[in-house]
């Protein structure tokens, strides 16, 4: 996408990461939102730990590399500080066994969890007031993605992504950050 087609995008955003074979998208995008909120509020962009919440919410309430919910990740960080990626690195790229939860120095904490109405204008306003949004989509159209705008009803929610912007090139569209690497 060419920058001139963007109406708006979140500037306070870490780079794209790769979840590997682990089904941990629900963590990557909750943490991406927390990273951006931290940068917006504190002026410091940091890569925060995905592994911490995979280990510390495993089987209660999330399921490690098998599935989980981003709202449960954010709820966890309302009661616990989140460590940096450097202090608590991602170790389950190839679905290795989930290591036990460890206490590490924290970088930030979440104050609240807000759900946004399924209204595009409200989503746009929230995006630029508070930072990126976690949304659930049907990942099937992404598997063969070559570029451009995907048109899908997204009725089968199988994957989480982060909405980081929107544009109006030839038609209105959302810009998302995925966790399948940069290639």
Q: With respect to residue 183, please indicate whether it lies within any of the assigned structural domains.
A: no
- Told to judge if 65 belongs to the known catalytic residues of this protein, a careful annotator would answer no
Q: What is the distance between the alpha carbons of residues 146 and 107, in angstroms, rounded to a whole number?
A: 37
- Told to judge if 33 belongs to the known catalytic residues of this protein, a careful annotator would answer no
pLDDT the model gives residue 1: 36
The arithmetic mean of pLDDT across residues 102-129, rounded, is: 81
Report the number of distinct structural domains present in the chain: 1
Q: What is the distance between the alpha carbons of residues 101 and 112, in angstroms, rounded to a whole number?
A: 23
pLDDT, tens digit, 9 for 90 and up, residues 27-70: 888 888 888 888 888 888 899 999 998 999 888 788 889 888 87
Q: With respect to residue 117, please indicate whether it lies within any of the assigned structural domains.
A: yes
pLDDT the model gives residue 49: 96
The arithmetic mean of pLDDT across residues 115-144, rounded, is: 76
- Percentage of residues of the chain with pLDDT beyond 90: 19
The arithmetic mean of pLDDT across residues 14-19, rounded, is: 82
**One of 38, 56, 159, 173 is an active-site residue; which one?**
159
pTM recorded for the entire structure: 0.73
Q: With respect to residue 1, please indicate whether it lies within any of the assigned structural domains.
A: no
**Residue 152: is the preceding peptide bond cis (ω within 30°)?**
no
């Amino acid at each position: 996408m060419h920058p001139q087609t963007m109406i708006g995008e979140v500037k306070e955003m870490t780079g794209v990461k790769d979840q590997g074979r682990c089904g941990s998208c629900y963590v990557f995008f909750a943490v991406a939102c927390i990273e951006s909120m931290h940068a917006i509020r504190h002026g410091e962009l940091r890569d925060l730990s995905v592994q911490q919440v995979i280990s510390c919410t495993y089987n209660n309430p999330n399921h490690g590399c098998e599935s989980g919910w981003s709202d449960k990740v954010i709820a966890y960080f309302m009661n616990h500080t989140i460590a940096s990626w450097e202090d608590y690195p991602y170790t389950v790229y190839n679905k290795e066994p989930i290591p036990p939860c460890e206490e590490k120095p924290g970088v930030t904490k979440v104050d609240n969890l807000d759900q946004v109405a399924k209204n595009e204008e409200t989503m746009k306003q929230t995006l630029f007031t508070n930072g990126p949004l976690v949304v659930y989509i049907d990942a099937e159209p992404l598997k063969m993605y070559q570029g451009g705008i995907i048109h899908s009803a997204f009725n089968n929610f199988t994957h989480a992504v982060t909405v980081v912007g929107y544009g109006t090139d030839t038609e209105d569209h959302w810009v998302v950050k995925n966790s399948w690497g940069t290639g």
